[in-house]
């Protein structure tokens, strides 16, 4: 039986996932705020947020979020992390208890320090919540480059069902029952990607980037375990997989943001760039430290990135502070 996948959000990531859901044999209904985006999807099979892709005929769009929720068998929320709460508040009056909610954004709510699943639980206390995370640049997914991701839900049957619905010839989801760690990794890898971009643009070399990535994984694991996640999940697609991708490519807005900051550009100048409008690692750095402080979890790389973003320290000062910290065991 053909199912309908609802896509709440019409940016590049939402469009790529809509195309994948269609390639997997589903009908797809997307929600967008902008009437011109809806018209382009429905008439030209195109979206300005992902201009190189042709959207399949099975994908339709609407400005009516209630219509998407009414039609969907599974709903993917692909709005940016800091807009998760207001979009869910808009959807709340239409939500059905039987409709799975798949959170696809990667971030932590700035004002509260909450994971997006915790935000969703506050707004939609009876929703069946899952998470999709992993290494997947939207443009490559849209052009059917091989991609593997994690889909996690507290109940394995739900994760398995969403995996089946989203599997396409080029898109392979793996199920997990650890809903915490993929969210933690998806958020913190953006902060670490900023650090990697900073390191590369300052000429700290491959050794420096390798150190940041490796010790960054330790910070991910500490944070995830403190929230009830599994340290071993950090070694999966949503952890080391996503971090390797994001911390090594200029396709990543977070890496590119760090690279620009490393060239002594101000944060205001960097965010003025059209390609850097949504850099999830910037609010996430502050949110992570707020939550980490409450749990007494040490996050020195994330703290260094936040100091640079808030212009408390220069890149060189922050790096020097990291390398002159007291010596300790690697365990």
CATH number for the domain whose boundaries are 180-323: 1.10.1040.10
Q: Domain locations in the chain?
A: 4-176, 180-323
Q: What per-residue confidence (pLDDT) applies to 268? A: 77
Is the distance from CB of 200 to CB of 262 less than 8 angstroms? yes
Q: What per-residue confidence (pLDDT) applies to 278? A: 77
Q: What per-residue confidence (pLDDT) applies to 293? A: 95
What is the per-residue pLDDT across 147-203, written as a single tens digit (0 to 9) for each? 999 999 999 999 999 999 999 999 999 999 999 999 999 999 999 999 999 999 999
What is the per-residue pLDDT across 265-292, written as a single tens digit (0 to 9) for each? 777 777 776 455 579 999 999 999 999 9
pLDDT at 230 over 70: yes
User: CB burial class (10 A; 0-12, 13-18, 19+) of residue 311?
Assistant: exposed
Q: Which pair of structure tokens corresponds to residue 59?
A: 């994908």
328 is catalytic: no
Query: CA–CA separation, 15 vs 240, rounded Å?
Result: 25
Q: What per-residue confidence (pLDDT) applies to 305? A: 96
Name the strand (E) or helix (H) holding 100. Answer: strand 100-103
Q: What per-residue confidence (pLDDT) applies to 1? A: 76
pLDDT at 233 over 80: yes
Q: What per-residue confidence (pLDDT) applies to 39? A: 98
What is the per-residue pLDDT across 302-313, written as a single tens digit (0 to 9) for each? 999 999 999 999
Tell me the Cα Rg of the chain.
19
Beta strands 74-77 and 27-31, pairing class: unpaired
Split at pLDDT 50, 70, 90, the class of 77 is very high
| CATH number assigned to the domain with residue range 4-176, chosen from the 4 options 1.10.10.10, 3.30.750.24, 3.40.50.720, 1.10.10.2160 | 3.40.50.720
Q: What per-residue confidence (pLDDT) applies to 274? A: 45
Catalytic residue among 126, 145, 189, 328: 189
| Average pLDDT in the chain | 95
What is the per-residue pLDDT across 113-157, written as a single tens digit (0 to 9) for each? 999 999 999 999 999 999 999 999 999 999 999 999 999 999 999
């Amino acid at each position: 039986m053909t199912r309908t996948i609802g896509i709440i959000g019409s940016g590049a990531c939402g469009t790529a996932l809509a195309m994948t859901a269609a390639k997997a044999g589903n009908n797809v209904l997307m929600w967008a705020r902008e009437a011109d985006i809806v018209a382009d999807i429905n008439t030209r099979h195109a979206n300005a947020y992902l201009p190189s892709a042709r959207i399949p005929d099975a994908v339709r769009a609407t400005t009516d979020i209630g219509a998407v929720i009414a039609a969907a068998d599974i709903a993917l929320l692909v709005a940016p992390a800091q807009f998760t709460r207001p979009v869910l508040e808009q959807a709340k009056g239409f939500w059905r208890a039987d409709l799975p909610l798949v959170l696809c954004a990667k971030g932590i709510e700035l004002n509260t320090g909450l994971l997006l699943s915790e935000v969703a639980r506050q707004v939609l206390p009876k929703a069946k919540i899952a998470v999709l995370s992993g290494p997947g640049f939207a443009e490559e997914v849209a052009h059917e480059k091989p991609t593997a991701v994690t889909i996690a839900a507290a109940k394995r049957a739900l994760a398995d069902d969403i995996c089946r619905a989203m599997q396409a010839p080029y898109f392979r989801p793996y199920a997990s029952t650890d809903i915490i760690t993929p969210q933690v990794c998806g958020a913190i890898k953006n902060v670490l990607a900023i650090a990697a971009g900073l390191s590369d643009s300052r000429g700290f070399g491959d050794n420096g980037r390798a150190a940041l990535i490796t010790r960054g994984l330790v910070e991910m694991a500490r944070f995830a375990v403190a929230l009830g996640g599994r340290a071993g999940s950090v070694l999966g697609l949503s952890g080391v997989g996503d971090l390797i991708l994001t911390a090594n490519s200029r396709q990543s807005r977070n890496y590119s943001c760090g690279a620009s900051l490393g060239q002594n550009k101000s944060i205001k100048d960097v965010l003025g760039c059209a390609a850097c409008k949504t850099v999830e690692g910037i609010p996430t750095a502050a949110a992570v430290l707020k939550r980490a402080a409450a749990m007494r979890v040490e996050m020195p790389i994330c703290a260094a990135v936040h100091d640079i973003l808030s212009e408390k320290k220069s890149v060189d000062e922050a790096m020097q502070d990291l390398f002159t910290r007291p010596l300790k065991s690697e365990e």
